[in-house]
Structures are given as C-alpha cells and as structure tokens.
Amino acid sequence: MKVPESHPRYNSLKLREKLIEGYKAGIVAEAGLIAHGRGEAFDYLLGEVTVPEAELAAKAAAKLLLGAENPVISVNGNVAALCPAEVVTLAKEASAKLEVNLFHRTDERVETIIGHLMNHGAQEVLGANPDARIPGLDHARALCSGGGIHSADVVLVPLEDGDRAHALRNMGKTTIVIDLNPLSRSAQSATVTIVDEVTRAIPKITGYVGRMKEGAPAHEFNNAKNLETIIDNIRTGAYSSV
C-alpha cells in the first residue's frame, strides 16, 4: 500500500511494510512479525523518538565497538529486513564482522539473509557454516561461528533475544543490546542497552563511531542507572512531551 507522508505514523507503517516484504522474501519469520508488534507498543511509550538516554547508550556502544579486538554484529531476519544497508555501514565503520544468527533457522533462510546483506554492500557474512556453539542454549541460536560470535569480545545484538543475550554474558562477553523493552531479559543482562527502535539506533551508533574516530570524547556510562531512568520516565509519562 502507499502510505501518505502526512500520516501521523508514516515511519512505523513503512517499517511494517518492510517486514511484510521481508516475510514474503523468506527473510523474516512469521514470529518476527509478532515480535515487531510487541516492540511497537513500547515505542509508543517513548514517543517514537530517540530519547536522551538512548543517545547516551548509543555513545557507549560506539566506544565499546571501537575498543574491541573482535567485534561482531549479530543479524536476525527482522534486522536484515528493516535496516540492511545501515547495519552493513556500521560493520564497516566499526571494523566489525556480521554474523547471521536465527532462532527459526533453516539453511535456506540463512543463505537468503546473507545474500540480502551482500546485496546491500557486505563483503563477508558469517553464519552459513556454524562450527561452534554458545553454551547453555538448546536451540538453533546456539549455533555460531568460531571466528565470529564464539570468539568475539564484543557482540552487538540488535534485537531482543533473551536467553542468548544472557548466555553471551555468561561466556564473559561484552554485550550491546538494542531493545525497546527496558524490562526484558536482554535489556537487563546487557553491558549496554539501547532502548530505541533499531532503524533509529543503528545509524546513531554509526554516527558516534565516526565522531569518536575523529577524536570526540567518550563519557562514562552506567547501564543500570540509564535503564532505571527510562523505566521511571515511562511510568510517569515523561516521554509523552519529548
């Protein structure tokens, strides 16, 4: 459908259309459509904008990526459908690897997502031939690449995935999570949690990576305090005026 730009929820409706197209192309799982709707509900509470606390977290994420020895960006179907070019750009700017990691995994779907990312500028994408496992997981998300997620010191997990984010922390990894739900297991267990919509957050991180490479200062960041502020602001309705 053609969404008029005058529609008050133009951006949100365009993202829905991208997901539907991604589903038809074999990139997005059926459950991914439901997961996106859950995230939208939290985005309403944020005013559908990048709040100041998310800006702070994006800066902290950029600092971690630039300081990493082997940073990896994990990509699922929703991320590939919503912001493929943006995530490829971030990987290049931060010298990070891209790896496809899926809960609803089939070889065909992995290859489709890899091809989609390559079509948007990626030179290499891991995930098609997993040769390692994330301990403590009994499902397909445990499958990973030894040279990618398994050996990474910093992993960016662009969307909520609960038990895997927790398992990565148990492996001693620094984790950056993008999750609109500040109360989720992913958000609560991450080193840095960016409470923002993924298509807003990824370019924000990329921008801060570029500025820090040029010498912009990085500031101290307290994830627990930042999440507490976000939760309090949601409860009080403070973001309704943002």
Query: What pLDDT digit, counting tens, does each position of 191-205 carry?
Result: 999 999 999 999 999
Query: pTM surpassing 0.95?
Result: no
pLDDT of residue 160: 66
In this predicted structure, the answer to whether residue 7 has a pLDDT above a threshold of 70 is no
* Rg of the chain, C-alpha, whole Å: 17
Q: Which domains does the chain show, CATH number per domain?
A: 52-240 (3.40.50.12640)
pLDDT of residue 242: 44
- Report, as an integer, the average pLDDT of 57-79: 97
pLDDT of residue 159: 78
- Report, as an integer, the average pLDDT of 154-172: 87
Asked whether 202 and 7 are in contact (CB, 8 A), the reply is: no
| Residues near 150 by beta carbon (within 8 Å), at least 6 away in sequence | 132, 133, 134, 144
Asked whether 145 and 132 are in contact (CB, 8 A), the reply is: yes
Element (H, E) at 74: strand 71-75
Q: What is the DSSP string of 162-187?
A: THHHHHHHHTT-EEEEE-S-TTSHHH
Element (H, E) at 233: helix 223-236
The two structure tokens encoding residue 106: 């089939």
CA-wise closest residue to 63 among 96, 94, 98: 94
Question: In 3-state terms, what secondary structure has residue 87?
Answer: helix
In this predicted structure, the answer to whether residue 68 has a pLDDT above a threshold of 50 is yes
User: How many C-beta atoms lie closer than 10 Å to residue 141's C-beta?
Assistant: 23
Phi, psi of 48 (to 5 degrees): 55, 40
Question: In 3-state terms, what secondary structure has residue 148?
Answer: coil
Asked whether 168 and 72 are in contact (CB, 8 A), the reply is: no
In this predicted structure, the answer to whether residue 241 has a pLDDT above a threshold of 60 is no
Task: Say which residue the tokens 């390692």 belong to.
Answer: 132
- Report, as an integer, the average pLDDT of 178-198: 94
pLDDT of residue 124: 97
